[in-house]
Structure formats: C-alpha cells, structure tokens
Amino acid sequence: MRRAGRFNAQLMDFVRQHVRPGITTEEIDRLVYEYTVDHGHRPACLGYRGFPKSCCTSVNEVVCHGIPGPYVLREGDIINIDLTTIVDGWYADQSETFLVGEVSEEARRLVQCAFDCMWLGIEACRPGGRINDIGRAIQQHAQSQGFAVVQEYQGHGIGRQFHQPPDIPHFPRPRNTERLEPGVCFTIEPMINAGDWRTWLDRRDGWTVRTVDGKLSAQFEHTILLTEEGPEVLTLTQHGPQKGHRF
C-alpha cells in the first residue's frame, strides 16, 4: 500500500504540471493513462463498472465522477482530478481540486474549505476511535464556513479492492458507533458544496454527479493507513499543497 500510494502521488505531481487554461480533460486523461502504463501499473478507473476513462475530471458544479472529454479548461474554472492506480495488485486513491488561473473569491474559499475539511478528518483518526469522529470534524468546519457536505458519497476502505469496508461518511451518522483499529486502510474524501448538499446523477452518461443548484463543488482525498501511533497518509505529494496550505 505504501508503494501504491507513493506512485499515485507521483502521478498527481506529474499531472499538476499540465493543469492550465486551454488543455482538455481528454488530454489530462491521456497523460494519466500513458504515465501509468509506462511505469508498469494500471489505472483502476479504466473499465471499472464500465467507466470509460483512466481518471475522473470534475469541473465546477460537477461533484464527482466527471468523464474526461472535449471540455477545454478556462480561466476561473476549478477542476477535481481523481486518480486511482493499481500497483502490484494494491490500490491507492487520491484527488485534488485545482484552481485554473485566477478564480472567484467564492471558489477559492470553497477549495480551501474542502482541503481543510480533509485534513481535519485525517486528524480526527485515532486507533480505537469512532468513524463518526471523522464526519463530525468535517461537517462542523464546513458549516462554520457557510458550506455544505455532500452526503450521498463517502470515503471507503481500500487495499486489494478499489472499494471495501469500512465506509467513511463525511458527516456523523446517528447510531454509527463503529471503531477504527490499527492496520486498516481507507480514504477520506469530503465533497463540499457552495450551496445545497444534495446532488443529481446525469442519466445521459450514468456517471457524472452534479450539484442540484448548479453551484460549485470541491473535493480533496488521501488514502490513509491507521497505525498504532495514528493516521499515516500514503498519498502525500512532493509538489502539491501540504497540510496548512493557503490557496
């Protein structure tokens, strides 16, 4: 899992060099595919339950699972790029939301909130702690900033499978008393909306999830290993935003 996480982070650092106005999301996907296979690994998204591309590119009001295509990034967009790689049979998963050129103040605040929510969720992890601690930390911060936490999609266990137990909701669920024990790997990936928390699935492609009100959404994600000492982030990049970063 550590090897998988290191490569996935390396891939994200490669992709970040190319996120700029004028590039299409299809071109980003091609870069992801070529870099991954050139290093002897496999993009987990490609063919997963019929998904047609090697990564997810979710722009502006798209919450998650955006399919790369002809869309050309423009100044002022925000785009979440979600990467998952299979390295020797092990999966690593992460995403970042990128600011494309100069963005609105609302977009900047939203991206900052999503980033901070992810780290607050990570900091809430502890051996023997409750999964609800993660969601509670995320929801409290998002609401304090005037934003909303998406509830239909959540983090998940990960290892030799893409998605496995435990489920990691980003809001506290009543009666969810499940505890985390050392040795488990999972993702924390809060999706934060500028308006309503609810979403809708675009039936035209069966994948793209959008905000119900057309307002912006942002997300960050890391793969976490819980050790006896606490959370270890397996997908830390060298050149991306680190804990405490200000956008």
Q: Is the pLDDT of residue 124 over 90?
A: yes
Asked, for residue 12, whether it belongs to a domain, the answer is yes
Six token digits for residue 87: 């390295």
pLDDT at 152 over 90: yes
Mean pLDDT of 103-114: 98
Q: Does residue 247 form part of some domain?
A: no
pLDDT(104) > 90 = yes
Q: What is the rounded CA–CA span in Å between residue 190 and residue 177?
A: 20
Give 1-41 pLDDT, tens digit per residue: 999 999 999 999 999 999 999 999 999 999 999 999 999 99
Summarised one tens digit per residue, pLDDT across range 193-210 is 999 999 999 999 999 999
Instruction: State whether the Cα torsion 189-209-63-199 is positive or negative.
Output: negative
Alpha helices in the chain (DSSP H): 2-16, 25-38, 105-123, 131-144
121 with 187: CB under 8 angstroms?
no
**Residue 244 counted as domain residue:** no
Domain total of the chain: 1
State pTM to two decimals.
0.97
> What CATH code is carried by the domain that includes residue 15?
3.90.230.10
pLDDT, residue 198, reads 98
Show the domain range for 177: 2-233
Torsion (CA) 21, 78, 104, 22 in degrees, nearest 10: 10
Nearest 10 degrees: CA dihedral of 125, 129, 132, 136?
-50
Domain contains 246: no
CA 31, distance to chain mean position in Å, is 19
Helices (H) and strands (E) in the chain, counts: 4, 15
Residue 239 lies in a domain: no
> Is pLDDT at 177 greater than 90 in this prediction?
no
Rounded to the nearest integer, the mean pLDDT of the chain is: 97
Q: Assess if residue 215 is contained within a domain.
A: yes
Q: How confident is the model at residue 90 (pLDDT cuts 50, 70, 90)?
A: very high
Mean pLDDT computed over 228-242: 98
Q: Is residue 10 part of a domain?
A: yes
Give the per-residue pLDDT at 134: 97
The answer to whether position 186 is within a domain reads yes
Tokens of 23: 């590039």
pLDDT confidence bin for 82, thresholds 50/70/90: very high
CA-to-CA dists, residue 76 to 16, 100, 181, angstroms? 16, 6, 42
